Amino acid sequence: MLKKIALIGFVFIISFKFTVAQSKYTLCILNSITNNDIRNIKPYKTSFNDTLQRYKELNELILKFWKDEYITTTIDSIISDSFNLTAYINIGNKYKYLLIKDSNNQIPITNKGIFKHNQVNNCYSNYVYIQNQINFSLLYYENNGYPFATIQFDSIVISDSSFTGTLVINKNKQYIIDSIIVKGSAFASSNYIQKFVGIKSKTLYNEAQNRNISKKIKEIDFFKETKPMEIEFFENKANILLFVDKIKANQFDGIIGIMPNDKNNRFVITGDIKFMLLNSFNKGELLAFRWHKFDKLSQDLKITTSYPFLLSSPFGVDLEYYLYKKDTSYITNKGKIGFKYIFEGNNHLKAFYEKQNTTLLFKLNNNDSTFSNYNSSNINIYGLGFRKQKLNNMMNPRKGYIIDIIASAGNKEIKINKDLPNIIYNDIKLKSTIYIYDADISFFIPTFSRSCIYLSAKSASIFNDYLFDNDLFRTGGLKTLRGFDEESIQASFYTILTAEYRYLYDEYSYLNIFWNGCHYEKNTLKSYHTGNPFGFGVGINFKTKLGVFSVNYALGKQDKEPIYPKRAKIHFGIINYF
């Protein structure tokens, strides 16, 4: 009996790490009294890819017997070779009354409040609570440097229907993380990897953080995990081995739009070209260039660069330049610098400064007694941004979410136009306060085995008493509101809702059917207008040797206009990864 009781502690060993070379390991559990397999009493798995999972299955089976009040169920003996393990267990008797004491108050104090606990005698009297306390205690120690901590019973007294014992924690050796080692073709600086996955060298071993490494690796655009990470233990140190390969993440993509021109019944060719370089210097940095032409005379240019973990700190820097030309009406230049604090992965909080200058390209008639729809101005704003995302696949997500929120405030200065009489400026403030917010929230909800529902809400607003058309948001088109011309809707406030069903048939490809609707308001110094346009349609993304090709067919409806198939918007696009 004493031998059996002494073996109870064995089942609480919760963390073994082995280098696995073979692909299959087997488990057989027999009743030590009858020699029968216990699968007819308690089903269990018999085949495993590694020895760690096999030991966990054995321990969990013992805990199942304990949960059914067979508290003395123990492992009598184990016979094993390189691949096979046979365990003989003694199920024992069922006990209805338990009294378990906490030896030397070792159970972590942070967990005691959620259990039935007698503060006077420092003991627990309910098995479910005891089991939970044991699990929480082991989690506490394995997340604080003791991956091989065990809990066992001591001073056990057994009667016909009761069981009394003392819980004893053996923390065993403490381990610290020595290095994170990349195995594979991927390459990035050690600082970038440690910061991104949230694990630093020379810190205490933390099992909870280790379990999240694979999920975080999936959020790196230029890495692909080839097999689960492994842990090497030596002396009082541990190495984390990451098995990742480099994937083609640099992008060159282009979109060509063929849209009917409602004025002359001809077609207008539009374009959107994007060039993006990722991790070229192995620091996780980004350099992006985008040129966008959405009608015959209008186009824009955007250049962005981002550098994370500056000087091995959790801070990063973003720079952005934006140039927008509206036909022959005006041109806007915008410069932006931001500093962000990176929590983990792509999640961050950012503070930024932005300067914007708008200049008219046409000459006003000095006989005009009112403003035109456009006006030259300078805008200086300061803001904060927050981003949090969790996706199962960066290229073609099926599960997860993205939250992106920006809020800013600053000053707007209207430039006096010498072509206009000074009297028209008497009723307006040349300098005023401006407020802007922008929120974009998306969810990917998995359905069935290879599909998902994509839901998105995007809203933005600009608050100022002296707005002109050149101050407004421009929305509509493939990336925002399908079924409408690119940036055809001008608004001081808008909200766009999108619902889309996607069938994912490979890593990069999907079929989709969608609906998107918008409510917007255009409130400027000269006019006010509101609308509720919506669009719907179908699309396909599929991988080719040249890249990921996309086709979208969308119909839109606005105001009282009927839906005309001849006004459908057809967008062709291709993303080339290199």
Give pLDDT tens digits along the chain (578 positions). 333 333 333 333 333 333 333 447 899 999 999 999 999 889 999 998 777 678 788 888 888 887 787 877 888 899 988 889 999 999 888 876 566 665 555 555 444 333 334 443 445 556 666 777 778 888 888 899 998 887 776 777 777 667 777 777 788 899 999 999 999 888 888 889 988 988 988 999 998 898 889 888 888 888 888 988 888 888 899 999 999 998 888 888 777 666 666 566 667 777 788 899 999 888 999 999 999 887 778 889 999 999 999 988 999 999 999 999 998 899 999 999 999 999 888 899 999 999 999 999 887 766 665 677 889 999 999 999 999 999 988 889 999 999 999 999 999 999 988 878 888 888 889 999 999 999 999 999 999 989 999 999 999 999 999 999 999 999 998 889 999 888 889 999 999 999 999 999 988 899 999 999 999 999 999 899 999 999 999 999 998 887 888 888 999 998 888 888 888 888 777 788 87
Domain limit, last residue, from 143, 170, 197:
170
Residue 575, pLDDT score:
80
Domain limit, last residue, from 188, 213, 246:
246
| Residue-number span of the structural domain to which 508 is assigned | 251-577
* Same domain? 309 vs 225: no
* Same domain? 354 vs 483: yes
* Same domain? 363 vs 508: yes
What is the model's pTM?
A: 0.75
* Same domain? 314 vs 189: no
Q: Which residues contact 171 (CB under 8 A, 6 or more apart)?
A: 141, 146, 149
Length of the chain in terms of residues written:
578
Q: Which residues contact 529 (CB under 8 A, 6 or more apart)?
A: 521, 522
Buried b (16+ CB within 10 A) or exposed e, 178-215: bebebeeebebeebbbbbbbbbeeeeebbbebbeebee
* Same domain? 145 vs 277: no
Residue 338, pLDDT score:
98
* Same domain? 241 vs 261: no
* Same domain? 289 vs 381: yes
* Same domain? 238 vs 256: no
Residue 16, pLDDT score:
35
Domain limit, last residue, from 147, 170, 193:
170
* Same domain? 197 vs 264: no
Q: Give the Cα separation of 265 and 112 in Å (integer).
A: 75
* Same domain? 383 vs 242: no
Whether the CB-CB separation of 183 and 42 falls below 8 Å is answered with no
Adjacent-strand bridge partners of 355: 335, 380
CATH code (residue 338): 2.40.160.50
* Same domain? 359 vs 391: yes
* Same domain? 96 vs 154: yes
Count how many domains the chain has: 3
Give the E-state strand segments of 294-366 in sequence order.
299-307, 315-326, 330-342, 348-360
Residue 1, pLDDT score:
39
